[in-house]
Structure 1
Amino acid sequence: MTAPDDAAEQIAGLLDRIVRRQRRASREGFGDSVTHGQFRVLRTLDNAEQTLRLSELAARLGIVPRSATSVVDDLESAGLVARQPDPHDRRATLVDLTPDGRQILATLRAKRRDVMVSQLSRLTEAEQQTLITLLQTLAED
């Protein structure tokens, strides 16, 4: 029987390997053009129900506004996001995805999904359902 600490370490290591594999898959085809941090920004903007202020984006990412500004600068230079003035607050700036940003995000998600489909093909459908249930339990706040 595995001690709880040993099981925790083993599970953490396995999850790390899976996440690294997902990140590598997301980068394939794009080289270093989109970093993991930039992918997080694109995904956060896409998941938002409205255009976000730069400060709101930073808060959702759990980073300081200056760091968000740097990432948005790079994404804007690449044509993946666009800034616009906030019509309700002259001091604030809104950030949104451009069509190119939406396209690259869709491509990155498809690559990530394809890698996961390949990994999950090693499991039976019942094992996949069990894995989903277990991960949902662990992901609950």
Structure 2
Amino acid sequence: MTAPDSDGPLAEQLLRLTRRVHRIQKRHLEHRDLGITPAQSRLLRTLAHYGSPPRMADLAERLEVVPRAVTTLVDGLETAGKVRRVPDPANRRVIRIELTDDGRAALRELHGARRSAAEEILAPLTDEQRAVLGGLLDALIDGPGTAPGRSGA
């Protein structure tokens, strides 16, 4: 006789929460009418973390997608005026992607939408519950063998 799948219900809860988070974030983004898809939003956030404009291959690697997917996202964001392609000063055959002023403004709006979504999701929790949840999430994000409370994100 095999043991019941004790983690099955927990895994299902995590998946349901993930879907709820995505739905709520999408709704908050739509209210701001930015015309940016969740995938484009992720690319803009990733782009903002680079000190100097990255190559599309760098973005693809960081986003863990194929380079063609990044090209499609950049095409849409460039058309919307959020990013621009610029030649690499050291090698003009290399193209880098940088945020425009409109892209930085969109990032501020995206940040506000994500914050509003998080507030909505966490509203039922007390401060103590939020602290416990934060510790549990750090443990899940960091995985085994890392120091407690140290996020790798």
TM-score, length basis structure 2: 0.83
3-state SS in 2 of match to 1:28: helix
Measure, in 2, the Cα distance between the counterparts of 1:63 and 1:119: 28
Distance 1:65 1:15, change over 3 A: closer
3-state SS in 2 of match to 1:115: helix
How many residue pairs are counted as aligned between the two chains? Answer: 140
Q: Identity rate of aligned residues, in percent? A: 38
8 A Cα contact 1:23 1:36, kept in partner: yes
3-state SS in 2 of match to 1:82: strand
Shift of 1:136: 0.9
Pairwise mapping of residues 21-60 of structure 1 onto structure 2 (< 5 A)? 21-30=24-33, 33-60=35-62
Q: Which residue type is aligned with residue 26 of structure 2?
A: R
Pairwise mapping of residues 62-141 of structure 1 onto structure 2 (< 5 A)? 62-141=64-143
Give the structure with the higher percent strand.
Answer: 1
Root mean square deviation of aligned Cα: 1.9
One of 20, 37, 44 as aligned partner of 1:17: 20
Measure, in 1, the Cα distance between the counterparts of 2:121 and 2:65: 32
3-state SS in 1 of match to 2:93: strand
8 A Cα contact 1:26 1:109, kept in partner: no
Measure, in 2, the Cα distance between the counterparts of 1:140 and 1:23: 26
Shift of 1:19: 2.6
TM-score, length basis structure 1: 0.89
3-state SS in 2 of match to 1:95: strand
3-state SS in 2 of match to 1:48: coil
Shift of 1:139: 1.0
Q: Which residue type is aligned with residue 23 of structure 1?
A: K
Shift of 1:115: 2.2
Q: Which residue type is aligned with residue 89 of structure 2?
A: P
8 A Cα contact 1:23 1:112, kept in partner: no
8 A Cα contact 2:32 2:109, kept in partner: no
Shift of 1:21: 1.3
3-state SS in 2 of match to 1:106: helix
Measure, in 1, the Cα distance between the counterparts of 2:28 and 2:17: 17
Shift of 1:22: 1.7
Shift of 1:39: 0.5
Structure 1 window deviating more from structure 2 (94-103 vs 15-24): it is: 15-24
Structure 2: which 5+ residue stretches go unaligned?
Answer: 144-153
8 A Cα contact 1:26 1:111, kept in partner: yes
Structure 1: which 5+ residue stretches go unaligned?
Answer: none
8 A Cα contact 1:27 1:108, kept in partner: no
